[in-house]
Structure 1
Amino acid sequence: MTQAKLSSADAVPVERSFFHRLWRTLIGAPRGLADKSLFHHLSLIPFLAWVGLGADGLSSSSYGPEEAFRALGEHSYLAVPLALLMIATVLIISLAYSRIIEAFPSGGGGYLVATKLLGPRVGVVSGSALVVDYILTITISIAAAGDALFSFVPLHLHHWKLTVDAMLLLGLATLNLRGVRESVVALTPVFIVFVITHLLLIGYGIFSHASEMQATAAKVTDGFSQGLSNVGVFGLLLLLLRAFSLGGGTYTGIEAVSNGLPIMREPRVPTAKRTMLYMASSLAFTAAGLLLCYLLWSISHVPGKTMNAVLAERVAAQLPFSSTFVFLTLFSEGALLIVAAQAGFIDGPRVLANMAVDSWMPHRFSALSDRLTTQNGILLMCGAALSALIYTKGNVSAIVVMYSINVFLTFSLSMLGMLQHWISRRAEQHWRRQAALFAVGLLLCVSILTVTVLEKFTEGGWMTVVVTGMLVGLAFIVRKHYGMVYDKISELYQEDMVELAHVPAGEEAAVGPLDPSQPTAILLVSSYSGLGIHTMLNIFRMFPGYYKNLLFVTVGVVDSGVFKGEETVDALQEETEKMLARYLRLAKRLRIPCECDYELGTDAVDEAEKLCRRLHREFPKATFFAGKIVFQRERWYQRLLHNETAFAIQRRLQWSGQTMMIIPARMA
C-alpha cells in the first residue's frame, strides 16, 4: 500500500485568476495538515476562549440590563432584587453548563445534549433553534454595536447606521474565513479595553454613591411599601418576573463555551470550565452592576443613545478626561459587541456541521476549507444575519425578542435532558444535588421562555417561532432524503454481493504486481459501500478482459467531524487504509491485480486531482472511473444535498488531457 501524502500549502503551479488571488489575500494561504502541532496552534487557551466565546455572554450586558430596567417603568426600586436575581440566574445556568461540559467533553452543546438524552427528534429541534439563535447572535451584536458607536454621533447621521452595520458584518465574516484563532487574537485588545473601562464605570458609579447608600435604601424601601399598597405582592412579583424575562438577553451566550469545546486547548474540559468561570463572574458583575448604577444615578432612556451611554456621560462628568473616557467606553462596548458576534461565527457553523454529520443538514456544511474553517457555514450565517439585519432595520429591541426565545428553548431542553439523566442515575452519589441544580435551571429557563413568548409573540416573537419551525421541517426532509439514498445504495450492495456469492470467501488469489505498461483502471472511491462495489463490477462488465490492472484511490477528507484534536489526522489515515484494504481483499478474490493509494486533505477535488495526475505519470494507459448517484428525475435541491465531486474531478482531468468515466448508480 502506498504511503499517503498529507496535503500541504504546496500545490501544483497553476495560473490563478484575479479573484482567486484576492481571496487568498483576504483569508490567507492554505494550512498544511502535515504539521503535527497544527491543532495545538489553532486551539484556544482559557483567556482567548473567554475573548472569542465569553464575549458573547459579557456583551449581552450592553442591552440585556437596559431592556430589563426599562421594563420596570416607574417601579425602578425593583432593580435591587432584579440585580440579585440576575446574579443567581447567571451562576445557576453557568454551573449547569459546567456539568454539561463534564458530561459531554467532545462538545456539541444543546444539540448533542438533547440528541443523546431526549432523542434525535428533540435534538433536531434544539439544533435548529441553536442555528437560528446564532444567526440572531450575530445580528443583535452587530446592531447593538452600531447603537453604541452611533451614541456619540449626531442624530442627522443615524440613517447611515444600517450601512455601517452591514459593513461590520461583512468584515467580521471575512476575518472568520481566515480562521478562529486569527479572528480572536485580532479582537483581543478591544475586549481588554471594554473590561477596563466598564470596571471603572461600574466601580466608580457605585462607590461614588457610597455615602448615599442609606438614602437609596430608604428610597427602595418606600418604593416597596408604595408598590405593595398599589399592586400587592402578586403584582410586584409579576412586574419583577416580566422585567426578569424581558431582560433574558442578559443570559444569552452562556452556552457558547460548551458548543465550542472542539477548539479548546487540551485538556479541554478544565480549559472550558475555566473559560465558563471567567464568563460567568464577569457577566454577573457587569449586568448587576449596571442595573444598580441605573438606579443610583436615576438613568432614563434618551432617544438616540443607549442607557449605558447616558450613564457613561453622567459618570465621566465627574472625572478628568471625561470625553476620552466616554469615547473609550462606548467604542469598546461597540467593539466588544462585534467580538460577541464572533461566537455566532464560531458556534453556528459548528452546530450546522454536527447536524450535517448526522444527515439533518446538507453534508457540505461539515466540510472544512483549506484554512480549516467551516467555510460554507460561515457564509450561510453571514447571509442569514445580513437578511435579519435588513428585515429588522437594525432595531435592537425587535431583535432581542426574536433572539431570547430560541436561547431559552435550547436552555430548557438541555436542562430537561440533564435532569432526566441524573434521575435515571439515582444509584450514584450526589445525584440529588445534580438533579436539583438542573431542576432549578429548568424552572428559570421555562419561566423566561414562557413570559417572553406570551409577552412578545405579536411583536416579532412569531417570526422566530415560524423560522425555527421551518428549519426543523427542512431538517426532517433532508434526513428522509439521505435515508432513501442510503437504502437504495444498500440495495445495490445486496444485489452485487449476491452476484459475488459464488466467489469463495477468504480465498485471495496470488496475483502478480501491476504492470504499468498495461491498460489500468483507476477507481476513485469515498468509502466501502454499495456504490464503490457496483462501480468496480461495472468496469469489468463494460470492458471485459481489457483492463489488466486495478487501482483503488481515495481522499481522506478532514472535515469538522474529524478535526477535533492532534490525534485525529492519524486516526483518519488508519481508517482510510482499513477501508482500502477491504476493496483490495475483494478484488483479489476476483483474481484482479490491484493496489491502492490515497491522500488526506480538506478538499476532495483538489487532493484527488493531484493524486490522479501523479498516478497518470506512473500508469500512462490509465483510465479513471468514479461512481455517481443519478436520479430518475433531477431536482435543483439534489445538487445541494449531494456533492458534484465526480463531475468536478472529471472536468479537471479532461482539461489536463486525461480520460475519466463516470458510471451511474440509478436512483428511482
Structure 2
Amino acid sequence: MPPRLKHLLFGAPRDVSDPKTYHHISLVAFLAWVGLGADGLSSSSYGPDESFRALGQHHYLAVGLALATAFTVFIISYAYSRIVEHFPFGGGGYVVASKLLGPRFGVVSGSALLVDYVLTISTSIAAAADATFSFLPPQWHWAKLPIEFGAIALLMLLNLRGIKESVTALAPIFVVFLVTHVLLIGGALFLRAGELPAVAGEVRHGFSSGLATLGLGGMAALFLRAYSMGAGTYTGIEAVSNGLQIMREPKVQTAQRTMVLMALSLALTAGGITLGYLLVHASPVEGKTMNAVLVERLTGGWGTPGQAFVWLTLAAETALLFVAAQAGFIDGPRVMANMANDRWLPRRFALLSDRLSMQDGIVLISACSALTLLYTRGDTSTLVLMYSINVFLTFSLSELGMVRYWIRERARYPDWKRHILIHLIGLVLCLSILVVSILEKFAVGGSITLVVTSLLIGLCLLIRRHYESVQHNLRRLDEVMEALPAFPAREEQPLDPRQPTAVLLVGGYGGLGIHQLLSVQRVFPNQYRQVLFVSVGVIDSASMKGVEEVEEVRRRTEESLQRYAGLARRLGMTAGWRMSVGVEAVGEAESLCVAIAGEFHRAVFFAGKLIFERERWYQRLLHNDTAYELQRRLQFAGLNAVVLPVRILQQEPVTAAGAGARAAPPEPAGAARG
C-alpha cells in the first residue's frame, strides 16, 4: 500500500521508544468501560428478554430473577477483580487456566474464548442490524447482510488504527445508552411506585399458585432454566482481565475501577429492566423485543415526546449493540497473541503493526465473524443459541484454577478460607449455568459451538506439536557451541569499510546464528575475514507494556550481538555489530542494511532460513519468510543478499525419551555441512 494512503487509513507509525506513546494508547477507566463494558451492558437488550420469556406465565418469579442476575454479576465481577490482582499482566481466563491448571486446560480456555469473541462480534452486529431493519420496509431486507459485512469492515479499520481511537469514536453512543436507560429504569420505578403494593400481592399470589401447581422442584427447575437462558447477560465480564495491558497506569487499580463500573452498570441495568417488565405488566408481543414493550408501555399517553423517547431508547440499544462488538476486536486478538507466545497459534499473531495494533489477529477475527454471519445468514436467534456457552466454560476453568490455588497455598495464607469462598460460589454458579446451557442449547445450535471449539483445540495441539518438534531439532544446532575451539579472542579492532564484509542478520545467540557464521566461512573460504552482525529487537504483544520492557528487549539484543562478535574474534575474524528495535523486523532490518551498505561498500548480506526435508503447505503459515522478503527488498535496493538454508531433515513427534526429528548441525571449526 502506498505510504500516504496507509497513513490516511491507519495513521502514522508510533514510536515504541517514546514514553508518551504508551500513555497515549492506554485507556482510563471510563474509556475501558466503554470499550470492554459495552459487550456486557448491551446484553441487557436481550439477556433479560430471554430470561423473562423463559418464565412463560410465571412472571412472579421475575423478582427472584432480577436479584439472582444482579448477585451473579457481582460475584463474577468480584472474582475477576481478585484474578486481576494475582495476574497483573493480563491474559484473563487463558492465563489463569494455563498457570493454575496446566497448559492443556489453558488451550481449552483460550480456544473457547476465541470462539466466544467471534460470536460476540457476529451476534452484536446481527442484533443491531435486526433492530435497525425492523423499522425499515421489507423490500429493503436484502441489504441486511451486506451492511453487516460493512459494519465489521468499519470496526476492523477503526481497530487497525488503534484501540483508543476506536473506543473514543464510539464513546458518545455508550453515553446516550446510559442516559436513556437510566431514565427508562428510573421512570419505571418512580412512575409505577404506587403500584408496588399491588405488584407485591400478585407476586405472593403467583408464588403460592405456582407452588401448588408446579411444586417446589418444578418451580426451581423453571427458575433455573430461565436464569440460565439469560446467560448472555454475563458475557463480557471477563474482558477487563483480558485487556489489562491497555489500561492506564497503575493498571491493576484502573482495571478494578473499570470492573466496578461494569458490575454496577450491568447489575442495575439488567436487574432494573427485569423488574420493569413486572411493574408495567409486560408480556411478549410478536415482532417486538421485551425492551420495546417496556418502553412503549411506560411512555403510553405521553404523546409526541413519549414516541420520541421510544425511538431514542431503541436507537441507543441498537447503536450500543454495534459498539458491543468492540470487545471482540479488543480482546480476541489479545488472546490470540497470548496463545501465539505459548506456541498454540502461529507466531505472527503475537506481532504488532507500526500502529501497535495486533493487525493479524484483528483481520482474522474479522474474517471469522463475517464467515459466521454468512453461515447463519445473519440470523440472530441462531447466533444467540450458539453464544454464551464458551464464556461459561472459561469462567468455570478460571474459578476452578483459583480454588485450586488457594487450596494449594493454604499453608502460606492463614485467611485462605475467606479468599476461596468467593471463587467457590463463582464456580458453582458458572458450572450450573454451563451445564444447563449445554443441555438447553445443544440440540438447537449449541452443538455447533462445541464442535468448532473442539476443532480449534485440536488445531492448537497440532500447531504446538509442530513447534516443539522444530525446537527439538534446533537444539541439535546448539551442540555446535560446545564443540567450537576455545581459542583466545583477537584484540578488538575497528572494521575497515574498504574490506569485504559479511553482514549476518541474526536473532538471539544460539546454534542457528553460529550455523550462519560457519556456513559463510565454509562456502566463501578466506573471502570474509571481517563480519558484521545485525539484529532487530522485535517488540511484540508480550513486550509492549512500557518503555522498561522495550529497554529490556534492547539489552537482550545487544547482549546477543556482543556474544556473536566475541565468538567471531575467537575464530580469528574482525567483528562488529549493529542493532535496532521496532515492531516490524523486515522494515527495520532493511533500514539497517541500507545504512550499512552506505558505510561498507563491499558488504554482502546473509540471512538464515529453515528448510524442511518434506515441505508442507502449512509450514509457510507457521514460519515467517523474513529471509526471503528481506532478500527481495535488498535486491531491489541494489544490494547483494544471500539466504543460507538451515536443514531440518525430518519431523517426528518428540517423545518422553527425547527421540525426535534430526537437524543437520554444521561441523565445528568452520567445516559445516550446511
TM-score range, shorter chain: over 0.9
What pairs with 1:232-381 in structure 2 (closer than 5 Å)? 232-319=215-302, 321-381=305-365
Q: Alpha-carbon deviation of 1:155? A: 4.5
1:169 and 2:152 matched: yes
The one-letter amino acid of 2:498's match is S
Q: Alpha-carbon deviation of 1:28? A: 1.4
Task: Give CA-to-partner distance per residue, 1:360-405, whole Å, 9 cap, x none.
Answer: 1000000100110000000011000111112222223322232211
Q: Alpha-carbon deviation of 1:156? A: 4.7
| Aligned partners of 2:70 and 2:271 also within 8 Å | yes
What pairs with 1:555-570 in structure 2 (closer than 5 Å)? 555-570=536-551
| Aligned partners of 1:148 and 1:305 also within 8 Å | no
Task: Give CA-to-partner distance per residue, 1:507-544, whole Å, 9 cap, x none.
Answer: 32214211110100000012212211111110001111
| Aligned partners of 1:124 and 1:475 also within 8 Å | yes
1:208 and 2:165 matched: no
Cα gap change, 1:150 to 1:202, in 2 (>3 Å): farther
Cα gap change, 1:318 to 1:529, in 2 (>3 Å): farther
1:397 and 2:355 matched: no
Give the whole-Å Cα distance in 2 for the aligned partners of 1:551 and 1:401. Answer: 60
Would you say how many aligned residue pairs link Structure 1 and Structure 2? 647
1:429 and 2:410 matched: no
Give the whole-Å Cα distance in 2 for the aligned partners of 1:620 and 1:23. Answer: 33
4+ runs deviating over 4 angstroms? none
Task: Give CA-to-partner distance per residue, 1:399-434, whole Å, 9 cap, x none.
Answer: 223221100000000000001111112231321111
The one-letter amino acid of 1:186's match is A
Greater Cα shift, 407-416 or 201-210: 201-210
What pairs with 1:190-201 in structure 2 (closer than 5 Å)? 190-201=173-184
1:513 and 2:498 matched: no
Name the counterpart of 2:617: 636
Task: Give CA-to-partner distance per residue, 1:328-370, whole Å, 9 cap, x none.
Answer: 2122112211211111101000000000001110000001001
Cα gap change, 1:640 to 1:546, in 2 (>3 Å): same
> What's the % identity of the aligned pairs?
56
| Aligned partners of 2:533 and 2:577 also within 8 Å | yes
Task: Give CA-to-partner distance per residue, 1:58-77, whole Å, 9 cap, x none.
Answer: 11111111111111111111
Give the whole-Å Cα distance in 1 for the aligned partners of 2:78 and 2:312. Answer: 32
Give the whole-Å Cα distance in 2 for the aligned partners of 1:556 and 1:207. Answer: 61
Name the counterpart of 1:11: none
Q: Where does structure 1 lack aligned partners over 5 or more consecutive residues?
A: 1-15
Greater Cα shift, 67-76 or 245-254: 67-76
Give the whole-Å Cα distance in 1 for the aligned partners of 2:208 and 2:492. Answer: 95
Give the whole-Å Cα distance in 2 for the aligned partners of 1:102 and 1:174. Answer: 33
Name the counterpart of 2:99: 116
1:553 and 2:539 matched: no
Task: Give CA-to-partner distance per residue, 1:183-223, whole Å, 9 cap, x none.
Answer: 01111111100000000011102221111111111111111
Give the whole-Å Cα distance in 1 for the aligned partners of 2:550 and 2:287. Answer: 52
The one-letter amino acid of 2:376's match is T
Greater Cα shift, 403-412 or 299-308: 299-308
Task: Give CA-to-partner distance per residue, 1:289-332, whole Å, 9 cap, x none.
Answer: 11111122232333433221222222233446223222221221
Greater Cα shift, 50-59 or 236-245: 50-59
Cα gap change, 1:637 to 1:72, in 2 (>3 Å): same
1:445 and 2:445 matched: no
1:386 and 2:370 matched: yes
1:469 and 2:437 matched: no
The one-letter amino acid of 1:375's match is Q
| Aligned partners of 2:17 and 2:550 also within 8 Å | no
SS at the partner of 1:515? coil
Give the whole-Å Cα distance in 1 for the aligned partners of 2:547 and 2:249. Answer: 10
Give the whole-Å Cα distance in 2 for the aligned partners of 1:221 and 1:392. Answer: 43
Name the counterpart of 1:55: 38
Q: Alpha-carbon deviation of 1:557? A: 0.9
Name the counterpart of 2:517: 536
The one-letter amino acid of 1:458's match is A
The TM-score, its normalising length taken from structure 2, stands at 0.94
| Aligned partners of 1:47 and 1:275 also within 8 Å | yes
Name the counterpart of 2:25: 42
Greater Cα shift, 306-315 or 551-560: 306-315
Give the whole-Å Cα distance in 2 for the aligned partners of 1:158 and 1:537. Answer: 66
The one-letter amino acid of 1:333's match is E
What pairs with 1:5-16 in structure 2 (closer than 5 Å)? none
Q: Where does structure 2 lack aligned partners over 5 or more consecutive residues?
A: 650-674
Task: Give CA-to-partner distance per residue, 1:575-602, whole Å, 9 cap, x none.
Answer: 2111212212211211211111011111
Task: Give CA-to-partner distance per residue, 1:237-262, whole Å, 9 cap, x none.
Answer: 00000010111000000000000000
1:493 paired residue among 453, 467, 478: 478
Greater Cα shift, 212-221 or 349-358: 212-221
2:87 paired residue among 89, 104, 121: 104
Give the whole-Å Cα distance in 1 for the aligned partners of 2:589 and 2:232. Answer: 47
| Aligned partners of 2:17 and 2:547 also within 8 Å | no
| Aligned partners of 1:62 and 1:144 also within 8 Å | no
Cα gap change, 1:248 to 1:536, in 2 (>3 Å): same
Give the whole-Å Cα distance in 1 for the aligned partners of 2:4 and 2:445. Answer: 43
SS at the partner of 2:214? helix
Task: Give CA-to-partner distance per residue, 1:5-62, whole Å, 9 cap, x none.
Answer: xxxxxxxxxxx64xx6444322112112242211011000011111111111111111
1:663 paired residue among 638, 644, 662: 644
Name the counterpart of 1:607: 588
The one-letter amino acid of 1:114's match is A
| Aligned partners of 2:19 and 2:546 also within 8 Å | no
The TM-score, its normalising length taken from structure 1, stands at 0.95
The one-letter amino acid of 2:224's match is L
Task: Give CA-to-partner distance per residue, 1:160-195, whole Å, 9 cap, x none.
Answer: 332322221111111111000000111111110000
Task: Give CA-to-partner distance per residue, 1:450-508, whole Å, 9 cap, x none.
Answer: 001011101111111111111111111111111111111111221x22541x324xx32
SS at the partner of 2:13? coil
Name the counterpart of 1:6: none
SS at the partner of 1:299? coil
SS at the partner of 1:305? coil
Cα gap change, 1:305 to 1:165, in 2 (>3 Å): farther
1:459 paired residue among 444, 447, 469: 444
SS at the partner of 1:523? strand
Name the counterpart of 1:578: 559
Greater Cα shift, 359-368 or 528-537: 528-537
The one-letter amino acid of 2:375's match is Y
Give the whole-Å Cα distance in 1 for the aligned partners of 2:49 and 2:377. Answer: 20
What is the CA RMSD across the aligned residues, in angstroms? 1.4
Give the whole-Å Cα distance in 1 for the aligned partners of 2:325 and 2:20. Answer: 28
Give the whole-Å Cα distance in 1 for the aligned partners of 2:14 and 2:460. Answer: 32
1:130 and 2:113 matched: yes
| Aligned partners of 1:40 and 1:566 also within 8 Å | no
